[in-house]
Amino acid sequence: AALVVSAVVLLALAAAFAGAVFYVDKGAIVSDVQPIVQILQTRTWWLMLFVTVIGAPVAEEFLFRGFLFGVLRTSAAGFAGTALVTAFIWSTLHASYSLYGMTAIFLIGLYLAWVREKTGSLITPLVCHAVYNGLIVLVLASAPDTIFQLS
């Protein structure tokens, strides 16, 4: 139950943030998703799905909410410092995104650290990450092309 609730909460929070950003600066969202949309329009779309739903969540969660979280959590940084540091470093991996996109990644990183802390498991943040990425790919793959136009 905690797994499903955690994933639904992440999706709701991310949707609210993305909706606000879309309202304030549609161009930022469009530029952030454009590379994904372009890949989804090729014959290698399945590779994007694999990388975003399996590869990135496994690699990033093991590194950030697994190894780095585990090392820092036992330090003087405590939970708050650990969450901030891991979320910040994780967001810098997404430096090609707009400021809004990097902020979203940072906030998601804080949430995933909180989920990791509360559940005591890496499985829940990993599944949340995979579901989030998978939903983004499915939405982008099924969205009309006109949504990605700035005019």
Q: Model confidence over 84-130: pLDDT tens digits?
A: 999 999 999 999 999 999 999 999 999 999 999 999 999 999 999 99
Q: What is the 3-state secondary structure (H, E, C) of the chain?
A: CHHHHHHHHHHHHHHHHHHHHHHHCHHHHHHHHHHHHHHHCCCCHHHHHHHHHHHHHHHHHHHHHHHHHHHHHCCCCHHHHHHHHHHHHHHHCCCCCCHHHHHHHHHHHHHHHHHHHHHCCCHHHHHHHHHHHHHHHHHHHHCCHHHHCCC
Q: Which residues contact 45 (CB under 8 A, 6 or more apart)?
A: 39, 141
Distance CA 93, CA 105 (A): 9
The distance from CA 36 to its chain's CA centroid, rounded to whole angstroms, is 14
Residue type for position 125: P
Q: Model confidence over 11-59: pLDDT tens digits?
A: 999 999 999 999 999 899 989 998 888 888 888 888 888 999 999 999 9
For residue 40, what pLDDT is reported?
A: 85
With 0.75 as the threshold, say if the pTM is over it. Answer: yes
For residue 142, what pLDDT is reported?
A: 86
Average pLDDT, the chain: 93
